[in-house]
Structure 1
Amino acid sequence: MKKIYNFLSLFLIITSSYGQSKQTEKADKLYESYQYVDAIDAYLKVVEDNSADTYVYKQLADSYYHLFNIKEASKWYKKALETTQGAETYFRYAQVLKSEGNYDQANKQMDVFSKMTPNDQRAKTHLENPNYIPQLADISKTFNVEGVDINDGEYSDFGAVLSNDNMLYFVSTRKTSGKADAWTNQPYLDIYKSIRSENGDLSEPEEVEELNTIYHDGPLTISADGKTMYFSRDGHSEGNFKKIKRKRLKVAQQGIYKATMVEGKWGNIQALPINSTDYTVSHPSISSDGKILYFASNMPNGLGDSDIWKISVSGDTYGEPVNLGSKVNTSGKEGFPYISEDNILYFASSGRQGFGGLDIFKFDLNKNEASVNLGNAINTNRDDFAFSVNNTLKIGYFSSNRSGVDNIYKAIPICQFETIALVKDQNTNAILSKVNVILVDAKNNNIATQETDTNGTTSFNVSCDNEYTITVSKEGYEIASFKVAASEGEDVIVNADLKPINHMITETEVKLKNIYFEFNKSNITNLGALELDKLVAIMKDYPEMKILVRSHTDSKGKADYNLKLSERRAKSTMQYVISKGINKDRLSAKGMGSTSLKIECKSNCTEDDDAQNRRSEFLIIKD
């Protein structure tokens, strides 16, 4: 009885294996003849019978890949790669992941592909820039941070501002000779300068001796023309203090002073009338037109420990202090204001929600909206403060004690802007909503896909350093691509007018743009799929229409190879249309190779000639 049972078990195993191989063999024949739609059905039957292995998963994935069915291709590639596959499978999975916007995982698959085929040009391109991850600009991240090599390391350096003539001024406690501050047991602050070269390097700092006293001097601000400086100074140096007899103390406050450049030296130093022995006035910042001076003070009628204020400036005449209000100031400490050329106020605050200690915020005076934290690219859980930016020279600086001592850091502005697509009907000028808009980068990667709203618009945050195109498609309209104009930070509106597709039908054919394929490949690409969707829409609108797909190559390569390549491409094109719900009886395909050139050029073809010869035709078959 045991022998009979074993025999039956063996018989079941053999017949099951035989059934699986026959089913897979049928699917493979359909796949090899480019009948991907039917091949998918056959492979899915193997899966349903629980007979599939990783080979079947890979074949399913490849079938969907050829038809540009990204979602299903991704699903089956993932299952196939549970075991090691050939290099091309990793490459194709990477392309699918990129189309899904999953660039981190795509790069990992390309890493594997590149290790397996290091001499493949696609692998070389990846290895040249392995961390390339296209994505929308992070509008919350406006600066990249780098260190500078002028910091003392042991003593405080902070409050750096860069003049338009590339002179970097800052304050430091690095001069250890002389008196020390009794409150901090540190040397007094002095003003220093360093010359910034064209490549961004900073010279060895030099003390600005004519501005420094034996007490605190700085921080400071420079006028746009570099001829006027406002700086903070301890009142002791001017004899401006209060005596507390019982403690034998002389208590001075910080005040703001004005200096002018005279024959290469700072002189003509004058105290501002807002200075007081009762409160501190410090951290000055002058507007680019020289008419408004911002500063920090704990003067009466503020909102917190110290606030940001402003006064008008007209020569040596100054207005009354004005508090900037609750959109800037809090019940905590606000200080170190800096007003940029584009009217953005940067300041440090301990009273707003942040990452810890002092954080740097910005307040757009043009919009008068809420203050915004500069984010964790700039701010840490320590004190971050004294932010300045020179928009003309495109460089900023700020200070932080994240290393344990106050140091200066470089803040490199990230240029980004919003590109806004406005989509309308070209004939009627009607606004088009629910239009599919794809943002594509210079490497033809899909960065993001969105739909237009009821106003016919959608927008993307993009980087100034890259080139972009938006591809716009809607059922019933011709797909169109539009270049995004270069910008230095200003928003860009792209007027994307779409043509209705009915003009594409002639007596003899449906006129589509070229269906692009990868070099030497026959799988449908993203751009090809978007164009073929127009044919699908037309055939659904005209249910009696029958189409012959004729695919042509250029004159390069051997005639026999070109013919076979064009046949594969014609069949892939037909299969894509069938996969979108068009009856296969309404379609036929024929590869023409290079037998019917549009431009007769042969050995002396230009790139443009070749592009015109590489084409697909969609001929209407008359019964």
Structure 2
Amino acid sequence: MKNLYIVLSFFAISSSIIAQNQDTKVADKLFSRYEYISAVKEYQKLVDSGKADGYVFKQMADAYYNMFNTAESIKWYAKAIATKQDAETYYRYAQMLKSNGKYEESNKQMTKFAALAPNDVRAKSFKENPNYVPKLVQGVTYSVAPVKISSDKSDFGAVLYDKTLYFTSARSGSKKTYGWTGEPFLDIYTSIMADSGTFSEPVPLESINHKRHDGPVTISADGNTMYFSSDSFREGLYEKDKQNHLKLGRNNLYVATKSGETWSNIKPLPFNSKDYSLSNPSLSRDGKTLYFSSNMPGSVGGVDIWKVSVNGGNFGKPENLGTKVNTEGNESFPFIADDNTTLYFASTGKPGFGGLDIFQINLAKGTEAVNMEKPINTEKDDFDFTFNKAKNIGFLSSNRNGNDDLFLATPLCAVDLLVVVTNAKTGAVLDNAKVAILDAKNNVIATQYSNSNGEVNFKIECDTPYSIQASKDGFEGNVFSVEKSKGPTAKLPAPLQPIDVIITPTEIVLQPIYFEFDKSNITQQGAFELDKLVQVMKNNDKLVIFAKSHTDSRGSDTYNLSLSDRRAQATVQYVISKGIPAERISGKGFGESEPKVQCDPCTEEQYAQNRRSEFLIVK
């Protein structure tokens, strides 16, 4: 049976090779003559008839790659790599993905390329920095690092007031073990944060802690009032399970006031109950609203986020925050920010990465809650996010390392960049202009189109170099440098000149169409410039153009002649792909026979100037 399978496999492979030679003969001939547009049409016939295989898909992808049609090349490379391909195919696929800002997928293909060609310079460069993924700042992102005062027991609920960090921990060795977790009952601890960012050895908050669970806490803006969660046994609220000889308590909320350095005058809140739990309080900075989690009657799911008005020592009626926040799952660990409108909370019911995820919502705007994404959230439980505006740092709790631990969350500095595209001659704003933002290595990170005010917004990292590439039909594309900024906002004018290309009686003068060394495919820079030629030819439908392509002097005369001819044909095919009839443009390579700069030896800049294209007017 095994031998029969091998024979059948060999027969299938042999048939495929024959099919490529026979069925693709016409298309292959066109491809070899660099007539990519016509070749693609012939390959497409094989696709439509069901005769296409990995070879056809690769040829389609390569044709579009040479014409810098990134969207189509990505489509066909994705099909091609379903079968075994050579290393260069994976490299080209990666480059096209990167040109579309699909960096993570690009890195996957580069990894495959590097495995197949480990000694290639491009592979070595990639492996030196394999996780390079240029990106914009999406929303407010954070760097996350463990807080070293975490223990081998559960630690969570960290909140920083002035220089004192309050958190909840099961680290006490003197307390009884809680049957559910197998750890000691929870206590409230404090630690002092030094100016260096380090934390002192935690100590228990003796004046608040009692013999069962305590914490987390929230403290008023003046530092004199504390609300905290604690076991309902503190006030004698529990149910008796006579059958099992147990007393069943709940989590309830309590308030304490500060006298000197000691917390005292502890009182239960009036809506505590032995029938449901209340926990995880968070007091607004104006002291008027207390947020908490509870499974009290009226909850949407198991545990919900609630709020209650506070007026001195008086409390209103608790209100459920509704379905913008709460789901049929569990929502807990609320934290209200200093602006009194931004609420952070954890949820199992909203779409996330797994377990509890942290979300934020603007209560004033009534918008939907937003997942805070990685690295705040992981596939594990992530919860209890708090933020200290004065220190510009946050804290969260997570069991991402196997145990509930404390983590420091530091916001990345971000700048709201406003790009305004205008007509350089009239000053009029230009809508529907294509605006791409590039990183320091000229990789396209994202692309948008300007609105009716000519505006595009990007959120970028502080003190990071970027550039903007703007284009619009009828205008010369241009690149604009974005100055490094600490924000919070920056504005970049992007004036575009109406296309007024220099047209002499014999030539259309463009900026040089440069090619990479030893390559003939159209680059992004080349496409950017060739679009001007396309626009001129659309505006002057009688123009017939002859493209001359040149190489530098490296390589033999014969090889350079062939290379320049490939470059000329790639240029012609690009223009045709943009809708210009084939009879209006032709091209030929002249190798190194007509250098623009006479030099021996040449500098890299001089070599680049000599490998160029020129556009002569035939009629």
Could you tell me how far apart the structure 2 residues matched to 1:491 and 1:347 are? Answer: 25
Of residues 261, 265, 279, the one that matches 1:267 is 261
Tell me, yes or no, if structure 1 residue 67 matches structure 2 residue 59: no
Alignment of 1:363-442 (within 5 A): 363-364=361-362, 367-370=364-367, 372=369, 374=371, 385-391=383-389, 393=391, 395-399=393-397, 407-411=405-409, 413=411, 419=417, 421-442=419-440
The alpha-carbon deviation at position 114 of structure 1 amounts to 1.2
Q: 1:217 to 1:267 in 2, by over 3 A?
A: farther
Q: 1:95 to 1:283 in 2, by over 3 A?
A: closer
Matched residue count = 582
Q: 1:469 to 1:344 in 2, by over 3 A?
A: farther
The alpha-carbon deviation at position 68 of structure 1 amounts to 1.9
Output the TM-score relative to the length of structure 1: 0.70
The alpha-carbon deviation at position 160 of structure 1 amounts to 0.6
Tell me, yes or no, if structure 1 residue 125 matches structure 2 residue 125: yes
Alignment of 1:192-591 (within 5 A): 192-194=189-191, 204-208=201-205, 218-221=215-218, 228=223, 230-232=225-227, 254-259=253-258, 267=261, 269=263, 278-279=270-271, 292=287, 294-296=289-291, 307-309=306-308, 336-341=333-338, 345-348=342-345, 360-364=358-362, 367-370=364-367, 372=369, 374=371, 385-391=383-389, 393=391, 395-399=393-397, 407-411=405-409, 413=411, 419=417, 421-459=419-457, 468-484=466-482, 490=488, 494-505=492-503, 509-551=507-549, 566=564, 568-580=566-578, 581-584=580-583, 586-589=585-588, 591=590
Q: Which residue of 2 aligns with 1:177?
A: 174
Paired residues of 1:570 and 1:591 also in contact (CA < 8 A):
no
The alpha-carbon deviation at position 533 of structure 1 amounts to 1.4
SS of structure 2 residue aligned to 1:502: coil
Q: Which residue of 1 aligns with 2:617?
A: 621
Alignment of 1:111-150 (within 5 A): 111-132=111-132, 139=139, 142=141, 150=149
The alpha-carbon deviation at position 589 of structure 1 amounts to 4.3
Amino acid at match of 1:171: T
Note the alpha carbon deviations across 1:226-278, whole angstroms, 9 max, x for none.
x9464346899xxx96999xxxxx99975433448xxxxx7165659xx5663
Paired residues of 1:308 and 1:334 also in contact (CA < 8 A):
no
Paired residues of 1:161 and 1:222 also in contact (CA < 8 A):
no
Q: 1:310 to 1:189 in 2, by over 3 A?
A: farther
Paired residues of 2:423 and 2:497 also in contact (CA < 8 A):
yes
Could you tell me how far apart the structure 2 residues matched to 1:235 and 1:62 are? Answer: 67
Could you tell me how far apart the structure 2 residues matched to 1:192 and 1:230 are? Answer: 17
Note the alpha carbon deviations across 1:129-154, whole angstroms, 9 max, x for none.
44555567665x85576665544444
Paired residues of 2:549 and 2:590 also in contact (CA < 8 A):
yes
Paired residues of 1:337 and 1:347 also in contact (CA < 8 A):
yes
Could you tell me how far apart the structure 2 residues matched to 1:185 and 1:571 are? Answer: 74
Unaligned runs of at least 5 residues, structure 2: 1-16, 239-248, 273-277
The alpha-carbon deviation at position 562 of structure 1 amounts to 6.7
Alignment of 1:16-27 (within 5 A): 24=25, 27=28
Tell me, yes or no, if structure 1 residue 160 matches structure 2 residue 155: no
Paired residues of 2:220 and 2:226 also in contact (CA < 8 A):
no
Unaligned runs of at least 5 residues, structure 1: 1-15, 245-249, 261-265, 313-317
Could you tell me how far apart the structure 2 residues matched to 1:611 and 1:199 are? Answer: 53
Could you tell me how far apart the structure 1 residues matched to 2:545 and 2:523 are? Answer: 21
Alignment of 1:34-113 (within 5 A): 34=34, 36-37=36-37, 58-74=58-74, 77=77, 81=81, 83-99=83-99, 103=103, 105-113=105-113
Q: Which residue of 1 aligns with 2:7?
A: none
Could you tell me how far apart the structure 1 residues matched to 2:394 and 2:356 are? Answer: 18
The alpha-carbon deviation at position 118 of structure 1 amounts to 0.5
The alpha-carbon deviation at position 60 of structure 1 amounts to 4.8
Note the alpha carbon deviations across 1:450-498, whole angstroms, 9 max, x for none.
4344444455566669754443222211112334565668465544332
Q: 1:252 to 1:484 in 2, by over 3 A?
A: closer
Amino acid at match of 1:86: D
Could you tell me how far apart the structure 2 residues matched to 1:62 and 1:403 are? Answer: 45
Note the alpha carbon deviations across 1:507-546, whole angstroms, 9 max, x for none.
6643433424333312102231132111011012112334
Could you tell me how far apart the structure 2 residues matched to 1:186 and 1:50 are? Answer: 64
Note the alpha carbon deviations across 1:391-444, whole angstroms, 9 max, x for none.
565542234689998654454546667655443323233343333333444444
Amino acid at match of 1:267: E
SS of structure 2 residue aligned to 1:88: helix
SS of structure 1 residue aligned to 2:421: strand
Paired residues of 1:358 and 1:385 also in contact (CA < 8 A):
yes
Q: 1:86 to 1:474 in 2, by over 3 A?
A: same
Q: Which residue of 1 aligns with 2:244?
A: none
Paired residues of 2:505 and 2:617 also in contact (CA < 8 A):
no
Q: 1:55 to 1:362 in 2, by over 3 A?
A: closer
Q: 1:230 to 1:87 in 2, by over 3 A?
A: same
SS of structure 2 residue aligned to 1:478: coil
Amino acid at match of 1:278: P
Q: Which of the two has higher C-alpha Rg?
A: 1
Paired residues of 1:172 and 1:191 also in contact (CA < 8 A):
yes
The alpha-carbon deviation at position 500 of structure 1 amounts to 1.0
The alpha-carbon deviation at position 115 of structure 1 amounts to 1.6
The alpha-carbon deviation at position 571 of structure 1 amounts to 4.2
SS of structure 1 residue aligned to 2:495: strand
Note the alpha carbon deviations across 1:306-348, whole angstroms, 9 max, x for none.
8434658xxxxx5976789665787999875434356554354
Alignment identity in percent?
Answer: 39
Amino acid at match of 1:295: L
Q: 1:545 to 1:374 in 2, by over 3 A?
A: closer
Could you tell me how far apart the structure 1 residues matched to 2:236 and 2:46 are? Answer: 93
Paired residues of 1:578 and 1:584 also in contact (CA < 8 A):
no
The alpha-carbon deviation at position 175 of structure 1 amounts to 2.4
The alpha-carbon deviation at position 209 of structure 1 amounts to 5.1
Could you tell me how far apart the structure 2 residues matched to 1:256 and 1:18 are? Answer: 82
* RMSD over aligned Cα atoms: 5.7
Output the TM-score relative to the length of structure 2: 0.70
Q: 1:519 to 1:618 in 2, by over 3 A?
A: closer
